[in-house]
Amino acid sequence: MAIRPTYDNTAVIGTGQSVYTRRPEPGKLAHHFIRDAIVAALDDGGIGLGEVDGFAVSSMSIAPDAAVDLAWRLGISTRWLHQDTNGGSASISAFGAAVRAIEMGAANVVIVAAGDATGLDGYAKIAANFNRAIRDHAAALGYGGPNTAYALLTRRQMAAYGLEKTDYGHMAIAQRAWAAGNPFATYRDPMTMDDYLNAPMVVDPLCRFDCVPVVAGGQAVILAHPDRVPKGRAPVRVRSLGYSYNHDHQATDGLETGASVFAKDLWDLAGAGPDDIDVASIYDDYPAMIVAQLDDLGFMPDHDAKGFIHNRIKDRSFPVNTWGGMLSAGQPGGHAGGLNGVSEIVLQLQHRAGERQVKDAKLGLVTGYGMTMYRYGATAGAAVLERG
């Protein structure tokens, strides 16, 4: 019989982030951005560094260092340590691992952090050597990174759902409008459909505004018992978690993500459904993947993506990626980008999201999606969070 987990002993205590910058100063490492985020999160949660006894980190640019090297350099001694390598779902994966660690008594106060500072050249090297499959079988073709995989996937999705380029444009434009309310976002000026359609083509049919801008940056959240939440602030609790890894062996069209595998359990365990969600962070490495995940999770009646984009996303009546998402705020690596989605839902549920606040937000959804092993992403995760 499956266990029905409960998460009564865990809440998000604090969130923090570094600045996001397109061009980090020479010598400024992922380590520095992760540190800045942790300092901000500890300050936000009123937690002392000496109280921390669990640490999870994910990054693609701390090598040859690993999690324990960061713990050393940051002065953190722990009894629980976790390094997550699952790309765009690394942080939601690490977040869940941290929740389970606290619930099982493995740690009391856990930092979940992520960050990257690859620089543009560093990013290109990482992209060409992402794994053995890409290095051996794709890099020489001019693959150049995940843009190529998602260009092909977007073509398949356009054909399957009857979507046009302007439909994706409405999504990018809506996220840019949300970004205006996020002081940390890299791109905050309004975008028009002309701007979107006239942007240079990168990998057909993806133009510049379909591809996340690489930035350097870090994110951190602190988890602990709900009685550690600072006075006057609502605890943010976990209703349910869902994960999937290598759901279809890279053998299909990739239009269904791993979220399709856990969607039913996620909602059953949450005692809620898509209609109950007040605000959502849907991992947005590309607009097509927002569509795919929303459909997998049951947000689109009759799989009508076009209708959902035009009736709920375009006018922002369904608040998705209210921090601007990675498309506008920037992608500080997929790991920290995913964690920014978590932080945003926490701020929204605590009613601390400033001018982008969604009124009376009580229930939120966060997803992660990542590891483009060959033709599309192989990892997925999600959490339903509530204002407790």
Partner 1 sequence: MSEGLNAWTCKGCGAVYFPERYLCVKCGSPDFETVLVEGGVIEDMTVVRHVIGQKDWQPKPIATVLIDGGARILAGVTDDAQPGDRVRLSQEEQAPYARRA
Question: By the criterion CB under 8 A, which residues form the site for partner 1?
Answer: 120-121, 123-125, 127, 132-133, 136-145, 147-149, 151-152, 155-156, 200-205, 214, 249-251, 374-375
For residues 245 and 357, which CB has a smaller minimum distance to partner 1 in the complex? 245
For residues 240 and 331, which CB has a smaller minimum distance to partner 1 in the complex? 331
> 281 - beta bridge partners?
366
Q: How far is the CB of 133 from partner 1 (least distance, A)?
A: 5
Q: How far is the CB of 244 from partner 1 (least distance, A)?
A: 16
Q: How far is the CB of 362 from partner 1 (least distance, A)?
A: 40
HSE-CB for 248 with a 13 A CA cutoff: 18
For residues 155 and 225, which CB has a smaller minimum distance to partner 1 in the complex? 155
For residues 4 and 249, which CB has a smaller minimum distance to partner 1 in the complex? 249
For residues 81 and 158, which CB has a smaller minimum distance to partner 1 in the complex? 158
Q: How far is the CB of 158 from partner 1 (least distance, A)?
A: 10
Kindly report the number of other CB atoms within 10 A of residue 121's CB atom: 8
Dihedral pair phi/psi, residue 54, rounded to 5°: -150, 140
**Which has the closest alpha carbon to 95: 228, 218, 238, 216?**
238
CA distances from 372 to 94, 130, 249 (A): 18, 9, 12
Q: How far is the CB of 282 from partner 1 (least distance, A)?
A: 24
Residues 6+ apart with CB under 8 A from 206: 147, 150, 151, 154, 286
Kindly report the number of other CB atoms within 10 A of residue 370's CB atom: 28
Of how many residues is the chain composed? 388
For residues 78 and 118, which CB has a smaller minimum distance to partner 1 in the complex? 118
For residues 121 and 194, which CB has a smaller minimum distance to partner 1 in the complex? 121
Q: How far is the CB of 6 from partner 1 (least distance, A)?
A: 35
Q: How far is the CB of 207 from partner 1 (least distance, A)?
A: 10
